[in-house]
Amino acid sequence: MIAAELRFAIDDLFADYGACLDNDRLEDWLELFSEDCVYKIVPRENAELGLPVTLMLCENKNMLRDRIVSLRQANEYSVHTDKHLITNVRVKDTTDDGGYSVEANYTMYQADNEGSGSLYSFGTYIDEVVHDGDAVKFRRKIVIVDNWSIPHMLSTPI
């Protein structure tokens, strides 16, 4: 069983991840990833069939940085706020180079400017977490989306 401090640090990482997205702090969100990170959003069906199609794909932190710049420009008129609930965090294994395979389930809700809200997405995070200085960060985050048929799911992190 992994040490309590590490479990707490990983729990905090997920809580920060959700809070950054929910409060539109995308630049802070970026800092939760290591430099050599991979970020993907994949429909569950594609993940299970091994198909390469993704809803979002950033193969390193610079791509993720570019993405945030694009979102900042596109989001000028954004009308939704998000709310992440992240649960069932499970540290599954250590990786060869001192990281950890971690999974968690999520649901994400959205509300519009009229205060009307609903379920937006649910699925699983298939992640690798690594030590990075004093912190832990995501080196890999694959968002497996169970309800992948939502039409406007293309452009934003989950």
Residues at the interface with a copy of itself (CB under 8 A): 1, 4-5, 7-9, 12, 14-16, 18-19, 22, 43-45, 81, 83-90, 103, 105, 107, 109, 111, 113-119, 122-124, 145-150
Q: Which amino acid is at 104?
A: A
| Lookup: tokens for 90 | 């499970």
CA atoms within 13 Å, Cβ hemisphere of 111? 9
- Taking the least distance from each CB to a copy of itself, the nearer of 60 and 101 is 101
Minimal distance, residue 38 CB to a copy of itself, in Å: 22
- Taking the least distance from each CB to a copy of itself, the nearer of 52 and 115 is 115
The sign of the dihedral angle between the CA atoms of 36, 105, 16, 28 is positive
Minimal distance, residue 134 CB to a copy of itself, in Å: 10
Minimal distance, residue 112 CB to a copy of itself, in Å: 9
| Lookup: tokens for 83 | 């709310």
Distance CA 45, CA 26 (A): 28
